[in-house]
Amino acid sequence: MRRNEFLSAIDDARIVAAIQAAESRSRGEIRVHVAEGACPDARRAAEADFVRLGMTATAERNGVLILVAPESQTFAVVGDRAIDERCPPGFWDEIAAGIAAEFRASRFSDGIVTAVTRVAEELARHFPRRPGEEDRNELPDAVSRD
């Protein structure tokens, strides 16, 4: 699928609302990024974008990036050190596989929202909100693009 076709098919407002709901349940940070052009190695691209987007600067190192590369139809989910070491083996790949299944059915927004929701559950389990403590939104909630 071409990037422009994909961009017109996703509901940014719904994805942002899912990110905001997810972040209201934990101290974690979630970003969704759409890559421009072909991306044969989505994991490598996601790791590079993770750094480029400033996601290593969160206070608790618990940010998660969901990378979607529509032109090459690849996906990757990567988490920073603190969340990654708490997740079960294969967790990120499982979420990416869920995105792929939804995308095959042309449910693009559903795939991303489901991934955000699954990540939120894991973040809330390991980094729940602390009663009486205000949480600062450290990263933008908008869907970013190259």
pLDDT digits (tens, 9 = 90+) for 22-57: 999 999 999 999 998 888 899 999 999 999 999 999
pLDDT value at 4 more than 70: no
pLDDT one-digit tens code per residue, 77-133: 999 999 999 999 999 999 999 998 998 888 989 999 999 999 999 999 999 998 877
Q: What's the one-letter identity of residue 20?
A: Q
CA distances from 91 to 3, 82, 115, 124 (A): 27, 14, 11, 15
- Rounded to two decimals, what is the model's pTM? 0.93
Compute the C-alpha angle 117/31/29, nearest 5°. Answer: 75
The domains located in the chain, with CATH, are 3-129+137-145 (3.10.310.50)
The per-residue pLDDT for 2 is: 58
- Return the pLDDT at 7: 65
